[in-house]
Amino acid sequence: MAKKALVVDHVSMKFNLNRERPGSVRELLSRIRHGRLRDEFWALKDINFSLEKGDRIGILGLNGSGKSTLLKVIAGVFKPTEGTVKRYGKVVPLLELGAGFEKQYTGRENIYLYGTVLGYDKDFLDQHYDQIVEFSGLGKFIDVPIMNYSSGMRSKLGFSIATAVNPEILILDEVLSVGDVRFRRKSMRKIKSMMENETTVLFVSHSIHQVKRICNKAMILQNGKMIAMGDIDEIADIYEEMYGLERARLARKSRREARKARRFAVQQLEAAMLAVEEKISESGRSVLEEASKVLQTAEDYISGNSKAVEEKVKVLGEAAKVLEEAANRAAEDPEAVEQALRALKETSDCAAASFKEMKTAEIIAGEALLPPANQENPIKSDEKKENINL
Amino acid sequence: MLIQLKKSWKQFLSRRTLLKELVVKGIKLKYRRSYLGVLWSLLEPILRTIVYTIVFGTLLGRGGPDYPLFILCGRLLYSYFAASTKAATKSIGKNASLIRKVYVPKYLYPMSSVLSNYVTFLISLIVIIPLAIYGGVSFHLTAFGIIVPLIIILCMSYGVGLILATIGVFFRDIEYIWDVALMVIMYTAAIFYDPSRLIKSGYGWLLELNPLYALIQNFRNCIFGEAMDSQLLLYSAGFSIVVLIVGHLLFYKQQDKFILYI
C-alpha cells in the first residue's frame, strides 16, 4: 500500500502571449516599440504534490486557473517550463473525447488508430475489440465513417477505447458530462470499478457534487497557484466559502433560518411548560392548604374537647361542612385549572407552528444542497422560501 | 550517449504499432473513395510519362524507345521526394488535434508521412518493368543496385522532412516556398533532358549541387546496366547523413515548443 503513483515536483508553466504573428511590418515595429514582443504569462506556478496509488483527486478552480494546463502537463502534452513530473505507470488521458479521431476512418478503424495512439498494441485491441464496441453501444454504426457520427457517438467511442484497460493513472477533464443519461451512468459505473482497481484518478469538474462523489482528495488552483490541498470535505468547504457559490450560500442561509426557528420554538415551549406548571401548583397548593387547615381544626376538636360527644359531632359536622366548602372551592377552582390548560394548549400550538416552520426551512436547506439534477434553478428554492415567509 | 540512444531505440520499438498504424492511415486515406485505389500509384506515373514523352520528346527532339524509361526513372524518384517532403511539412499541423490531447513522440508524424509515401513509391516501381521491355532495355544484374539510391532517398526525404516539419510549425509560409524550391529541384534534376547538354552549357554546377540529380543518375545507371558513379553516390549519401543529423537536432530542440504554436 501507499505506493507512489504520481509526483509533481515544483512544476511551473510559462506561456508567451502575443504569439499571434504580427500582421504587418508596421505592427511588428509598434510591438517592438511598446515592448510587447514578449508578454509572459505563468499558467502554473510552482505546483508541488504527489499522489499515492488509488488516490482520486479533484482539481477545483475557476476558469483560467490552470486546471487543464496542469492536466496536460501531467498527460505529457505540455512540457513544463520548470520542474518535473514523474508518472508511475500508464497514463490514459480523457481530454475532449474523440478529438484524436480520423474523420474519414470508420469506427472500427478508429478503434485501432486511437487505441495505438493511447499505447495499446494490436493483439490487445483484437482481444478487446468486441468489448469496446459493446460498451460504446454503437452496434452496426461501427463500420460507418466517423464523419457521419454525432458528437455524442464520437464521445462514447472515445470513452470506450480509452477505458478498455485499467490504466494506472486516469485523467478526466469534464468528460463525465458527455453522452445521454444512460451512457453517463454507465461511464460513471466504469470509473467506479476502475477506482476499485487502485487506479489513480485526476478529475476536473465544476460540479463540486460530482467531485465529492468520486474523489477522496482535492486541490484548489487559483491563478496558477495551488492554494489548498487535502481531504475532499475540508477542501470542498474552503472552495464553497472562497467562491461564495450561490447554491451553497442559499443552503447556508436556510439552514441558519431553520436553526433560528428551532431555537424560537424551544423557547416558546419552555415558557409554556413553566406557566402551566406554575398554574397547577398554585391552585393545588391552595386546596391542600385549605384541607389541612380543616383537618387540623377537626383534630383539635377531637383531641382537645372531650366534654360532650354531641358537641364533637356538631363540630365534626362543622368540620365536614368546612371540608365540603373546601371541596366546593376546589371544584370551583377548575377555572384556574382550565385557564392553565388553555394556556398550555395555546403555547403548545405556538410551539407546533414554530416546529413546522423549522421543518420547511430544513427541507429547503436539504433541497438546496441536493445535486442539480436537471440543472435545477436555485431561484426555485428561493421562491419557495419567500412563500413561507409570507 | 550510448545509453540514451539505446533508450530512444527502445521507445521507438514500443511505438512500432503506432507507426505502422499511421503509415497505413496515410496510404489508406490517399486512395480512399477512389475506384481504382492503389492502382493509381501505377497508373499515375505511366500517364505522366506518356505526357512528358510526347511534350519533351517532340520539344527537345530527344527520341528513342528507351526515352520513356529514362523519364520514368527520374520522375518516380522526384515525385516521391516531393510528395514525402510536402507531407512531412504539413504533418505536425495536420495532427494538431492529436498532439494537443495525447503524448506521442512527435517525430512519428513526419516519419509516418515519409514512410507511407515510400510504400506507394515502392509499389509504383513495378511500372519500370513494362517500360523497360518497351524500351528494349534488357535486365542487368546491376538493377539490384537500385536498393542503394532507394535507401539514400528515404534518409534524405526524412531528414529534409524533419527540417521542413520543424520550420513549418513556426513559419507556415514554408509550404509555398518549398513548392517553388521543388520546382527548381525538378528542373535541375535532369528528369527529361540529357544532363550532358546542360553540363556543356556551363550550368553543370547546378546539377552537381542537386543531391536528387545524383540519386536519379545512379538509379538510372543501375536500371540501364551501367556502373554507379561513386562521386555522385558519395555526395548523395553524405548529403542525406547531414540533413538527417541537422533535421534530428533541429526537431528535437524545438519539438517541445510545437504545442504552443499549433
Q: Tell which wins on pLDDT, A68 or B125.
A: B125
Question: What is the per-residue pLDDT for A161?
Answer: 87
Q: What is the CATH number of the domain that holds A73?
A: 3.40.50.300
Contact between A117 and B98 using a beta-carbon 8 Å cutoff? yes
- B18, B99, B260 ranked by CB distance to A19: nearest: B260
Check whether residue A254 and residue A159 sit in a common domain. no
pLDDT in tens, A193-238: 877 778 888 988 877 888 888 888 999 988 888 988 989 888 888 8
Contact of A179 with A155, CB cutoff 8 Å: yes
Q: Tell which wins on pLDDT, A112 or A313.
A: A112
Residue A367 confidence class, pLDDT cut points 50, 70, 90: low
Residues on chain B touching A121 (C-beta within 8 angstroms): 17
Contact between B102 and A96 using a beta-carbon 8 Å cutoff? no
Check whether residue A108 and residue A159 sit in a common domain. yes
Check whether residue A175 and residue A253 sit in a common domain. no
Q: What is the CATH number of the domain that holds A360?
A: 1.10.287
- B22, B259, B261 ranked by CB distance to A77: nearest: B259
Contact of A112 with A164, CB cutoff 8 Å: no
When pLDDT is averaged across residues A14-38 and rounded to a whole number, the result is 63
User: Does residue A124 have a pLDDT over 60?
Assistant: yes
Q: Tell which wins on pLDDT, A390 or B242.
A: B242
Contact between B99 and A76 using a beta-carbon 8 Å cutoff? no
Give the three cell numbers for residue B249.
537536432
Residues on chain A touching B104 (C-beta within 8 angstroms): 117
Give the three cell numbers for residue A319.
368540620
- A77, A91, A116 ranked by CB distance to B18: nearest: A116
Nearest to B22 by CA among A92, A157, A102: A102
Question: What is the per-residue pLDDT for A23?
Answer: 56
Check whether residue A269 and residue A240 sit in a common domain. no
Strand, helix or coil for residue A245:
coil
Q: Tell which wins on pLDDT, A304 or B197.
A: B197
Question: What is the per-residue pLDDT for B243?
Answer: 96
Check whether residue A255 and residue A323 sit in a common domain. yes
Q: How many domains does chain A have?
A: 2
Nearest to A168 by CA among A335, A344, A4: A4
Residues on chain A touching B101 (C-beta within 8 angstroms): 75, 77, 93, 95-96, 99-100
- B18, B29, B103 ranked by CB distance to A104: nearest: B29
Q: Tell which wins on pLDDT, A71 or A287.
A: A71
Average pLDDT across chain A, whole number: 77
When pLDDT is averaged across residues A163-169 and rounded to a whole number, the result is 81
Contact between A104 and B99 using a beta-carbon 8 Å cutoff? no
Task: Dump strand ranges (E) for A18-161.
Answer: 39-52, 56-60, 82-87, 91-95
Residues on chain A touching B259 (C-beta within 8 angstroms): 77-79
Contact of B190 with B207, CB cutoff 8 Å: yes
When pLDDT is averaged across residues A258-272 and rounded to a whole number, the result is 84
CA of A38: how far to CAs of A11, A32, A41, B174, in Å?
21, 9, 10, 24
Measured between CA atoms, the residue of chain B closest to residue A99 is B97
- Boundary (domain end) residue, out of A247, A267, A285: A247
Query: Residue B166 class from Cβ within 10 Å (0-12 exposed, 13-18 middle, 19+ buried)?
Result: buried
The pairing of beta strand A82-87 with beta strand A91-95: unpaired
Is the ipTM beyond the 0.95 threshold?
A: no
Contact between A77 and B101 using a beta-carbon 8 Å cutoff? yes
- Boundary (domain end) residue, out of A247, A278, A294: A247
Q: What's the gap in Å between the CA of A110 and the closest CA on chain B?
A: 10
Q: What's the gap in Å between the CA of B21 and the closest CA on chain A?
A: 6
Check whether residue A228 and residue A156 sit in a common domain. yes
End-to-end CA distance of chain A: 58
- A78, A79, A102 ranked by CB distance to B25: nearest: A102
- Chosen from B11, B12, B17, B24 to mutate, greatest number of chain A CBs within 10 A: B17
- pLDDT digit string (tens) for chain B, length 262 residues: 678 888 888 888 888 888 999 999 999 888 888 888 888 989 999 999 999 888 888 877 767 788 889 999 999 999 999 999 999 999 999 888 888 888 888 999 999 999 999 999 999 999 999 999 988 888 888 889 999 999 999 999 999 999 999 999 988 899 999 999 999 999 888 888 878 777 788 777 878 889 999 999 999 999 998 888 999 999 999 999 999 999 999 999 999 888 888 7
Contact of A104 with A75, CB cutoff 8 Å: no
Check whether residue A8 and residue A28 sit in a common domain. yes
Check whether residue A42 and residue A130 sit in a common domain. yes
Residue A387 confidence class, pLDDT cut points 50, 70, 90: very low
Residue A33 confidence class, pLDDT cut points 50, 70, 90: low
Residues on chain B touching A105 (C-beta within 8 angstroms): 25, 28
Measured between CA atoms, the residue of chain A closest to residue B171 is A21
**What range does the domain containing A339 cover?**
249-389
Q: What's the gap in Å between the CA of A168 and the closest CA on chain B?
A: 16
Q: Among positive and negative, which fits the CA dihedral B218, B219, B222, B225?
A: negative
Contacts for B150-155 with beta carbons within 8 Å, 24 or more apart?
Answer: B150/B122, B150/B219, B152/B215, B152/B236, B152/B237, B152/B240, B153/B77, B153/B80, B153/B81, B153/B212, B153/B215, B153/B240, B154/B114, B154/B118, B155/B240, B155/B241, B155/B244
Question: What is the per-residue pLDDT for A327?
Answer: 63
Q: Tell which wins on pLDDT, B191 or A296.
A: B191
Question: What is the per-residue pLDDT for B254?
Answer: 92
Check whether residue A100 and residue A181 sit in a common domain. yes
Question: What is the per-residue pLDDT for A308?
Answer: 54
Check whether residue A285 and residue A370 sit in a common domain. yes
Contact between A116 and B17 using a beta-carbon 8 Å cutoff? yes
Measured between CA atoms, the residue of chain B closest to residue A123 is B17
- Boundary (domain end) residue, out of A212, A247, A282: A247
Q: Give the count of Cβ contacts less than 8 A between chain A and B.
A: 55
Residues on chain A touching B97 (C-beta within 8 angstroms): 99-100
When pLDDT is averaged across residues A340-356 and rounded to a whole number, the result is 75
Nearest to B22 by CA among B91, B86, B100: B91
User: Does residue A353 have a pLDDT over 90?
Assistant: no
Q: Tell which wins on pLDDT, A287 or A36.
A: A287
Check whether residue A305 and residue A253 sit in a common domain. yes
Question: What is the per-residue pLDDT for A34?
Answer: 62
User: Does residue A382 have a pLDDT over 50?
Assistant: no
Count of CA atoms in the C-beta half-sphere (13 A) of A330: 14
Residue A390 confidence class, pLDDT cut points 50, 70, 90: very low
Contact between B260 and A104 using a beta-carbon 8 Å cutoff? no
Check whether residue A195 and residue A273 sit in a common domain. no
Greatest mean pLDDT among A63-72, A86-95, A98-107, B75-84 lies in: B75-84
Residues on chain A touching B18 (C-beta within 8 angstroms): 116-117, 119
